[in-house]
Structure 1
Amino acid sequence: MPFKSNNACICAAIVILLLVVILIPLSFSYLEYYEYGLIQRKATGSVDITTVYNSGRYPIGPGRRFIKYQADSHYVHFDKLSVFSKSGTNESIGLEFLVDIGLTYFLIQDEIGLLHKDLSRNYDTIIESRAKDAIKNEAIGVSFNEYFQDRKSVERRFKEAISHRWAEPPSLHCSLDQFHLGRIRIPDSVASKQLEARVQNERNDKESFIQQAQIERELTAVEVNTIDLEREKVLRTARAEASLIRSRAQSQSERIKAQAQTNGTNMLLAASDIVTQEQKSAFTYIRTLRNRNDLNVDVSYLSADNVLRTTPASSA
């Protein structure tokens, strides 16, 4: 009996040891460095959302397991996402074109339980859907030219729009990390219209420059004509003033000469002892005749009656 009892004890010990060896490894569950975990009961399927586990090894028992969520960054790429730009008027939408978007986001560790409760395992689909909506809604407020002339500002606006959209109730329990606005594709029809619009603008500018040049030429011609008229006025005024000065000078010279001649005659008459009026008249008459260029006078003699006798001479 003692021998059988010992065998039974040994068998029981071996069974217990085997159970321990088997159950202990089954009681531990592992989470990698890139995983979060929530404990779920295998029998009932209920999930404990109050405690979130990160990487490590945990003795949760064989009747439980981890529901795992990605702990590192999630990468999302939208290829050729269709958006509309801001319209020039309030009556229609703007131009349609395609953009490439790349972004990364992280799940908030403390809110993994709420994420499981609100979104379950389909959270990525909902997160991506809200991101698309945010981009499209924000794109309507961005003009077409801003996408090419101010990409940094557009990228910042899209990133802020996504963050605000994700934070709206119900929250998605994630945070946006990186955002990149990639290639912008313009449909051929839109590119053709834009090119034609640019060409037309250049034509309009050219015509405007031509008209402005014509106006400038006409204004220049008016200024030249004004200057010519002013020059002609100055010249005529100068000629008139010069003529007046010459006339005055000639008149002055004639007056001076006449005065000098009168003084000289008086001196000559006084020196020649010509004192009577008849003698002065005869002298004046003779001098006048001699000063004429078309008459030669030859005095031959004086008669007893003091009358001057002249003989005509041929004109020179």
Structure 2
Amino acid sequence: MDEQDDNAFKDEDDPESDGVDGSPSPHSDGETSPHSDDEASPRSDSETDPEGNPTGELETDTAAVSSGNVEDKQAGGGCKEDEGMASRPPGYQDPPSYEETIRMSAIKVEGETPKRDRDEDLEWDQDESVEPNVIVNPFSDLRDGSPQEDIELGEMPGRSPRLTGATAEVTPSGDSIKRFVQPMEIESQTTQKPFHICFSEMNSRSLLIIIFSILIAIVAVLIVVLLPLAFSYVEYYELGLKQQRSTGQVFFNDGAFESGRHAVGPDYIFKKYPSWATSVHLDDIAVITTAGLSLSFSCSFQYFIREEELGLLEQRFDQGYPEVIKFVAEAALKNVAASINLSLYLEQRRQVEILFHDALRAKLGGNCCPDLEECLRYDTCHLCSNSDVCSRGYHINVPFFQLLEINLPDVILDRNLQVQLMHEEAEKETFLQQERLTRKRTEELVQGILNSASEVTNNSTSQASLIQSLGEAEARAIVEGSVSGGLTLMYNSMNVTVDQHKASLHWLRTLEKQDRLVMGVSFQEYMKLIKNWTVT
């Protein structure tokens, strides 16, 4: 198949083997015709013979073009230099031109009548700067009865070839089917033009597209660069005032910005302040009291900047407000510490801390009520003022204060220690005396309770003995009376009237009460009893 394609290319390049009637082959796009586009004129029907072959005038023009192209190639002209000519193998031929490709794409098997397939579509790019794309199926069968047609290249849309007189004739070229060349392959084989020629061929639309693309790229770069700069960040622990980057001007009246991301513009940033508590520690504040006593103390406090008054704070003190607040706080504490009695430092530390805290809030926070509704709710309006002439202080709130160490002179401490020891000794002696007195009183109470218990016990014992004796006597009397009555009744029933007999009977009754008493009526009964007792 490749050999057949090479033969087909050779047949097309050879002027003697072109076509049936010997018409010359068209030239490639890269070869410039001596006849420019301005001098070219469209072909008319009179310039071709009845079978579609070009006339002698066209052959003359084509020969002139071919000779001119050969001279240009020999002179080194064209858009691409012919490098490596010596290294090309024998029989090498240049790739087909644009017109040749159009003509070759429609060649069919020799002996069949060529025709134009009307079902095939020729797709042309409407942009004049792009070569047309031809979609032709060379393997489809020709329709019967279709006449041979000539394709006028000058009548096709898109960019027409420079040789307006050249035509593409559909003719058979042999027993084999020639190779189908894609337009992209043709473009890759075409020669490259110099920059000034390519630039001159660009139309106004392409220039507008390039300019518009450059503008879009510039705008995109500006957006990418300026958009992040337009946003400024305030952290959750910060407050910010808007500040112009170029001039350094701070906008006090715009209010404070809370945490977040704010679109303030590329020329603006935030001048930041802390939004949470700022701790201040004061060490060894020396004070001389009104009594002439020298002492020192340490303390710490925490303050918050008022968000609504941040602009006023910046306007008055700028970023130097921490030193100002520290200096003013130390002065206020000294004034209060000088008027406090020594006994408060020694005995009432909590009261001293409250006095210091109140002094700091009045000096640094001012006496203006921040919120009338809030102070009415918590009944604290007496501590602040709602008038227009109230003092805002230094635009901060001091909610926390800690009194740390109080350093008094050693003499004062020793004297106070001795006094405290004397008080302790006196209290100790008082407690000892109270202890002795309490013990005596306790012993007295115990003895009284014991005496009362003994008295009650003795009385109870005596009464119990008396009651028992009376009961026994009464019981004995009742028993004896009953016994006497019973004996009398028994004597009467037995008709015993003699006192001697009554005494014998009474003696027998007494013996009857004995445990080992053996009684019998006759000797025989007595003997029986003796025997039984002996055996047992």
With the length of structure 2 as denominator, give the TM-score of the two structures: 0.35
SS in 1 for 2:248: coil
C-alpha distance in structure 1 between counterparts of 2:224 and 2:266, whole Å: 13
Q: Deviations over 1:229-267 (max 9, x none)?
A: xxxxxxxxxxxxxxxxxxxxxxxxxxxxxxxxxxxxxxx
Within-5 A mapping of 1:87-166: 87=291, 93=292, 95-166=293-364
1:271 aligns with none
Unpaired stretches in structure 1, ≥5 consecutive residues: 88-92, 207-316
Q: Does 1:195 align with 2:414?
A: yes
In structure 2, C-alpha distance between the alignment counterparts of 1:75 and 1:199, rounded to whole Å: 39
1:302 matched residue in structure 2: none
Identity %: 27
CA displacement 1:108-144 (0-9 Å, x = unmatched)? 0000000011111111111111111111000111112
Comparing 76-85 with 16-25, greater Cα deviation is found at 76-85
Structure 2 residue corresponding to 1:49, chosen from 223, 235, 252:
252
- 1:173 counterpart residue number: 395
More strand by share: 1
Task: State whether structure 2 residue 404 is matched by structure 1 residue 182.
Answer: yes
Q: Secondary structure at the match of 1:45?
A: coil
Shift of 1:145: 2.2
Query: Is the 1:86–1:144 contact (alpha carbons within 8 Å) kept by the matching residues of 2?
Result: no
Residues 173-192 of structure 1: CA deviation (Å, up to 9, x unaligned): 00102100001123xxx213
Looking at both structures, which has the greater relative contact order when contacts are Cα pairs under 8 Å and sequence separation is at least 6? Answer: 1
* Corresponding letter in the other structure for 1:181: L
Deviations 1:262-314 (A, max 9, x none): xxxxxxxxxxxxxxxxxxxxxxxxxxxxxxxxxxxxxxxxxxxxxxxxxxxxx
Structure 2 CA distance for aligned equivalents of residues 72 and 180 of structure 1 = 18
Cα distance change of structure 1 residues 30 and 9 upon mapping to structure 2, 3 Å threshold:
same
Residues 86, 139 of structure 1: 8 Å contact kept: no
- Highest Rg: 1 or 2? 2
Q: Is 1:29 equivalent to 2:232 in the alignment?
A: yes
Check 1:86–1:205 CA distance in 2 against 1; reply closer, same or farther (3 A cut).
Answer: farther
- Cα distance, 1:204–1:156 mapped onto 2, change above 3 Å: closer
> Shift of the alpha carbon at 1:84?
2.8
Relative distance call for 1:197 and 1:159 in structure 2 (3 A) is closer
Give the number of aligned pairs.
197
Distance, in Å, in 1 between the alignment partners of 2:278 and 2:405 is 21
Report whether the alignment pairs 1:5 with 2:227: no
Partner of 1:59: 263
Equivalent residue letter for 1:52: A
Q: 1:21 Cα shift?
A: 1.1
What residue ranges of structure 2 are gaps of 5+ in the alignment? 1-203, 368-390, 426-536
SS in 1 for 2:246: coil
Query: Partner letter of residue 153 of structure 1?
Result: Q
Q: Give the secondary-structure state (helix, strand or coil) at the position aligned to 2:342.
A: coil
- Which has a greater percent of helix? 1
Q: 1:203, 1:178 → 2: CA distance?
A: 38
Match of 1:70 in 2: 274
CA distances 1:55-110 after superposition (whole Å, capped 9, x unpaired): 111110111111111111000001122123341xxxxx3x2222110110000000
Partner of 2:175: none
SS at match of 1:145: helix
Matched position secondary structure for 2:256 = strand
Distance 1:61 1:122, change over 3 A: same
Question: SS of the residue aligned with 1:130?
Answer: helix
* One-letter code aligned to 1:30: Y
Q: Which amino acid aligns with 1:15?
A: I
Q: Which amino acid aligns with 2:222?
A: L
Normalising by structure 1, we get a TM-score of 0.58
Deviations 1:209-245 (A, max 9, x none): xxxxxxxxxxxxxxxxxxxxxxxxxxxxxxxxxxxxx
Which residue pairs with 1:38 in the alignment? 241
* Alignment partner of 1:19 out of 213, 216, 222: 222
Tell me the distance in 2 between the aligned counterparts of 1:174 and 1:16: 46
Paired amino acid for 2:256: V
3-state SS of 1:81 partner:
strand
Partner letter of residue 407 of structure 2? R
Letter in structure 2 aligned against 1:66: F
Q: Could you tell me how far apart the structure 1 residues matched to 2:362 and 2:326 are? A: 14
Whether the 8 Å CA contact 1:34–1:55 is kept in 2: the answer is yes
